[in-house]
Chain A
């Protein structure tokens, strides 16, 4: 569905790159997560893939279209949910969806149904300008599904939403996945990536550090952590140590030898810990 080779992008059209020589492939039906801290280049990548940012360097194929050429009809197959909600504040929720639906060539979804599944039923005829930030975000999200996209771009789909609504959004994404929709999802939230994505790419400073499935990442990195609680001079200490690093191994040995161990078990790392382990940076 998406094939990216040696993609780079500079906002200032010079050596200062926001995205540096990245390559990846997304197959049909896959939910692919772009996980990285803010400023990593996730939205920039989505911008290039959706054509909002002009293609500069590298080969990009999206939904069978070469991004070097401009072909508007490809958007009949594509849905885009934006990080910053962008709906007409002077139009009602329903009007926002109806007029958007008119812009597509093929059949579109019933706006009432979409508003219902994002929990905006009952507010159809209220102007989006009166909505809270979260409601506008849900409207933007609902709008991205109006044309039944085969390929769905989701930029931070749950950021800033309260947990109950975030859960609804996650359910919708899962339901779309079950229908066979391919998704490109960017997030700095490792739970989202973990729960929803078939594969994740770790991106930092515009570079992809690794691409793998959450499961295999956990297998590779998870088993190698040991969490140990011990008593030292009457006080309880808790440490998480890596069994792959010599310094940590030595430390484990010292603790076992010198102190009173309360609990000790190998632990499955969260994606966040793996991210820190791989990139040396935190997800913020």
Chain B
């Protein structure tokens, strides 16, 4: 009862303050920026990986023909890096699933072409030709780009095996142009659609969706950490903590009700972004559970830090460094070639990975639940420590 009343009081105070609206305002602005400013599937970056499963003469003939017709042009060969990856390939028609595991890194040299728009002559996409199907599958799954194997039978008819990540219905029209001369109908008749999915993280996100895990991670972690500290220092400045300290109510109730306020704010601001962009994809039950636990844990960290300093200016150094450290994993999220092992020890790393899965509706349940438990326990320990610290230092 005290906890509820305390929570309602803190909510009232928060809703009459500044930080509450800042977070919501930032969420709305970001939503607008994403919706208006980010093209979900920009054509300009189209990349295709192709494997011609046919005698070299046949394939060279096709390429030469396309070059002569001005459809493509050759550029310098490219060195492609194939990362270790685990994935499965499922055949849309037969439902058959095959798993692949590659543990070694591998570098291949690939013939590289640019596909041109026949009308404007502008580059439409980059095409890498590789000499086996595994490599193109691997590249497709790690980069999210389209791959296809083109086969010729004895009658000289071509058939296509596409490797997609499953979401790009709209992009399918684009792949029909992968190279050729054939009309879409013809291709459709001969296609053999395969879906490649990386194990662990599965469905790819479009550019708009890709912003969301980062936002919710930092809404939960950073805002939880930073805003709860601001609230504590507001209370310290007003001296209301001393007034609280001479009541029979326990300190942990005060701390917990602050934490709940932060969780409420984070849930609201995250929903503003997540619901319009991810729509029905996420498992919302899992999403809100994970979000609340993450916010709880980082708010508890903020409380502990706040208990060591009696003003926000004194806490600023620690605050700043912690925020930077928590943000680092975002670099590896955006720059996939930057994924050093040490980065995995940052607490926001698993948070980001967890959200990525949950938001596309293909969470690795064991992963999410394990980390939920870890953060729940860690948060509770931090809160217990903060409680001890605050009991000692409430009067300052």
Contact = CB atoms under 8 A, between A and B. Distances in A.
Nearest to A75: B248
Interface stretch (B44-52, B180-188, B234-242, B368-376): B234-242
A99 B242 CA distance: 15
A91 B12 contact: yes
Contacts of A70: 391
Interface in B219-274: 238-240, 242-250
A86 B5 CA distance: 19
Interface of A is mostly: loop
A93 B354 CA distance: 45
Given A70-B391, A72-B248, A100 B243 contact: yes
Contact of A76 (B12, B16, B248): B248
Interface string A63-97: 00000001011111010101011111111000100
A51 interface: yes
Interface residues of B, number: 25
Contacts of B239: 82, 84-86
Given A53-B395, A54-B392, A103-B248, A86 B238 contact: yes
B5 A99 contact: yes
B12 A87 contact: no
A31 interface: no
A104 B243 contact: no
A130 interface: no
B6 A52 contact: no
Contact of A80 (B5, B9, B246): B246
Interface in A11-57: 47, 50-54
Contacts of B395: 47, 52-53
Interface of B is mostly: helix
B341 interface: no
A82 B242 CA distance: 9
B13 A73 contact: no
A91 B11 CA distance: 11
Chain A's interface size range is: 20 to 34
A76 B333 CA distance: 53
Contacts of B12: 90-91, 95
A19 B249 CA distance: 29
Contacts of A50: 246
A100 to B, nearest CB: 7
26 contacts: A51-B245, A52-B394, A52-B395, A74-B248, A75-B246, A75-B247, A82-B242, A85-B239, A87-B243, A88-B9, A88-B238, A88-B240, A90-B16, A91-B9, A91-B12, A99-B6, A99-B9, A100-B247, A102-B1, A102-B5, A102-B6, A103-B248, A103-B249, A104-B247, A140-B243, A143-B243
Interface of B: 1-2, 5-6, 9, 12-13, 16-17, 238-240, 242-250, 391-392, 394-395
Given A88-B238, A88-B240, A100-B243, 7 more contacts: A47-B395, A75-B246, A84-B239, A86-B238, A90-B16, A90-B17, A103-B244
